């Protein structure tokens, strides 16, 4: 069972399409990191998830839990808007405030595990980011553009290029969590949106499309729940 990397960053995104935060350790259940994408906006007229694909300004908002989530429940979230104002999901009329911000009537949905685009864990290697940076040094291939849960530094025989794409179809053990690498992650316009400290940059997606057929990172399913912490080995099973 070769060690192919180690965990260098862990991320959780309390609110779909909004900025998340780095953690030193995470608990992982069948539906992914506890509390990850635990909240979402939904269009009131269709009940479909609102995404930064349609409303890019969502990525200029940040979200944090007011208490730690569990595998089956999400506490309230405090949202910080681009102008610095804060909104609590259990506060005074958050629906009206967020509908005005979104420019359409929206609902708030806090159902655990209901707001993933594909599979519950998204993994990315630093090798992929470094490869893209060499190809296009004018763009910032900052990890925040790609919204992974787990960032891995490759330490195995293959340490350059888009390392994680070669893990598709294999099982990984990360900390005490077993994952099945299900598919590559096809990137979209969200990678180009402005975020605090990151400008709007169409060159990011153009480079990924030209160099890697628009794929960067991988989606994983959870085979065995557990915990992951910074520094944990990544083992190819």
Give residue-wise pLDDT tens across range 184-205: 999 999 999 999 999 999 999 9
3-state SS of 162-205?
CHHHHHCCCEEEECCEEEEEEEEEECCHHHHCCECCECCCHHHH
Give residue-wise pLDDT tens across range 155-168: 988 888 999 999 99
**In the chain, what are the domain boundaries?**
3-31+117-236, 37-109
Q: Parallel, antiparallel, or unpaired: how do β-strands 171-174 and 177-186 relate?
A: antiparallel
- Output the average pLDDT for the chain: 95
What value does the mean pLDDT take over residues 94-111?
Answer: 94
Q: Does position 113 have pLDDT exceeding 80, yes or no? A: no
Q: Does position 135 have pLDDT exceeding 90, yes or no? A: yes
Q: In the structure, what pLDDT confidence band is assigned to residue 142 with cuts at 50, 70 and 90?
A: very high
Q: Parallel, antiparallel, or unpaired: how do β-strands 121-125 and 150-154 relate?
A: parallel
Name the DSSP class of 50: P
In a 13 Å sphere around the CA of 59, the CA atoms on its Cβ side amount to 22
Contacts of 92 (CB under 8 A, 6+ apart): none
Q: What radius of gyration do the chain's Cα atoms show?
A: 18
Nearest residue to 126 via CA among 216, 13, 23: 216
Q: Does position 100 have pLDDT exceeding 90, yes or no? A: yes
CATH code, residues 3-31+117-236 = 2.40.33.20
Give residue-wise pLDDT tens across range 47-69: 888 999 899 999 999 999 999 99
Q: Output the pLDDT for position 36.
A: 96
């Amino acid at each position: 069972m070769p060690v192919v990397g180690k965990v260098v960053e862990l991320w959780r995104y309390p609110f779909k399409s909004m900025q998340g935060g780095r953690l030193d350790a995470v608990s992982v259940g069948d539906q992914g990191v506890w509390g990850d994408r635990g909240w979402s906006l939904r269009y009131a007229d269709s009940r479909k998830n609102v995404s930064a694909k349609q409303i890019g300004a969502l990525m200029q908002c940040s979200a944090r839990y007011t208490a730690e989530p569990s595998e089956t429940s999400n506490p309230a979230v405090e949202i910080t808007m681009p102008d610095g104002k804060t909104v609590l999901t259990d506060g005074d009329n958050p629906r009206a405030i967020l509908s005005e911000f979104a420019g359409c009537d929206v609902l708030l949905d806090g159902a655990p595990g209901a707001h993933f685009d594909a599979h519950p864990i998204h993994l990315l290697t630093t090798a992929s980011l470094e490869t893209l940076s060499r190809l296009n040094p004018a763009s910032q291939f900052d990890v925040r553009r790609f919204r992974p849960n787990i960032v891995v530094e490759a330490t195995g025989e293959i340490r350059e290029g888009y390392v994680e794409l070669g893990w598709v179809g294999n099982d990984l053990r990360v900390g005490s969590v077993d994952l099945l690498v299900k598919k590559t992650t096809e990137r979209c316009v969200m990678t180009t949106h402005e975020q605090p400290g990151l400008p709007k940059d169409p060159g990011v997606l153009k480079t990924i499309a030209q160099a890697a057929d628009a794929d960067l990172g991988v989606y994983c399913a959870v085979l065995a729940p557990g915990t992951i912490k910074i520094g944990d080995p990544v083992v190819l099973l």
